[in-house]
Amino acid sequence: MLTIVYNRQEFEYDTYACVTSFFPGIALRQYFDDVEHKDGNLPEEEKEAPDTLRIELYPEEGFGMASFIAGEILSKTETYTLDLRASFKEEQKAEEKAIAFKKVWKRYFYDLMSKDTGISLPWGSLTGIRPTKLIMTMLREEETEDKVRDRLYDEYRVSEEKMDLGIRIARLEDSILDPFRYKTSADKTTTEGGYSLYIGIPFCPSTCLYCSFTSFPIAVWQKKVADYLAALKREMEAAVRIMKGKGPDTIYIGGGTPTSLSADELQILLENVREIIPMDGVREFTVEAGRPDSITKDKLKVMKQMGVGRISVNPQTMKEETLRLIGRHHSVDDVRRAFSEAREAGFDNINMDTILGLPGETLDDVKKTFEEIEKMAPDSLTVHSLALKRASRMKRWVEEHGAIRGMDYESAMGYAAKAAGALGMRPYYLYRQKNMAGNLENTGYATEGKYGLYNILIMEEVQSIVALGVGTVSKRVWPSGRIERCENVKDVTMYLDKIDEMIARKEALFTIN
């Protein structure tokens, strides 16, 4: 157990992220001396505890800083002091200095932890979930790629390997995004008029151990499915009205597991989409079929007839014991069966998801998973590093059984990259999450022309997203780069009762100046 005490709450996330990156699975308590906080102020008896990391930051006083570090987090008890006043120009505004101060603090604390532990993290002190968005911005700002590399190291300590990956993906994404009706501006940062449509189906055959998405067992909610589809239809009609005749570039039906619906229910949903939504400009129509135990020939036939072009068949792992442990009620043979039936149904753009770092898995297990995936030869592959989400049952599992350790995550990611390369794929998008295994990333690989366009658009935030259904988040992106969001409620019954309110929220978001 480690206790962290702050006197400034805005430094909580970066410090927490750094500590947990170096010490995955460590139990943390966080307190604040001078502000109200859900954990309260540090109890008197813990103020001198040997496992306490104390941090005092004073950016408002000349933007200097002192950090006091004690106990087991580092190898020795010592007071470290860093004066940053010389780093700032007098004409800088206070908010600019505060942002710069925070960035320098992150790098300083990272260097301190790295020196003491002897560990260099792949992404250094970079904690943002969209590294390629940052890199694309740098590529537009700098004259040469070498200068971008210098900044990535100087500002964030990013490794050469991750620089290579990030720059490669950023350049590819930029070329993929180019046809999406760019604004005629010098930096080409946003799209003109286009949007993407997301439709959430919050039902699943069962809830996986690692899942934190809004999902409910389909067996429990079966009697409400018709009402849910009717509410979704109303949201679709409102979305068409709100977007004033514009059509989406991409449509993505996710969840949950959309194919937890019956074939007849799926038919109703997809018919509503085709009848209500302007389809002329749609470049990609995806249904995240996902769970092999929810995929049938009848559902595949419905999706194909309704014009769905891209689907997912997601094994996560090809190890039977792990599938049972994580709560996926299907077998490895079910994965093979579902994939084969999807090919037979005529789908030529099939994605497969995998997760690295699942409980009990070894490097050999990871290697075998990708060997099996190579045999099936999907068109794209999304490789996730396990992230321990607060709302997932995995978080509680770790608390009961201890941290998941022993996996060489970089080697595991290497197996994934090798398999993707053998299938003629290249990395086309990546993103990161809190508490990721190995401090790595989620990477999407695809063959030429099979890139997940919606994935890129939502990650790089160049286009508005109109999101329908339980637990979804709509996002409006202005030409200036300004972004605002509105959320739908996360409960099915509340969604049905408050559908008019959900529509009003979107109307307000997309009609304000």
DSSP state letter for 316: B
Nearest to 438 by CA among 368, 388, 400: 388
pLDDT exceeds 50 at position 285: yes
CA dihedral 334, 336, 337, 343 (to 10 degrees): 140
Confidence bin at 186 (pLDDT 50/70/90): very low
Look over the chain and give the mean of its residue pLDDT values, rounded to a whole number. Answer: 83
Q: What is the pLDDT of residues 358-409, one digit of tens each?
A: 887 889 999 999 999 999 999 999 998 876 555 555 555 555 555 555 568 8
Q: How far is it, in rounded angstroms, from Cα 406 to Cα 157?
A: 25
DSSP state letter for 397: H
Q: What is the pLDDT of residues 21-33, one digit of tens each?
A: 887 767 777 777 6
pLDDT at 185: 47
Residue type for position 183: K
pLDDT at 26: 72
Q: What is the pLDDT of residues 388-397, one digit of tens each?
A: 555 555 555 5
Q: What is the pLDDT of residues 116-168, one digit of tens each?
A: 788 899 999 988 789 999 999 999 999 899 999 999 999 999 999 999 999 99
Strands 78-82 vs 64-69: parallel, antiparallel or unpaired? antiparallel
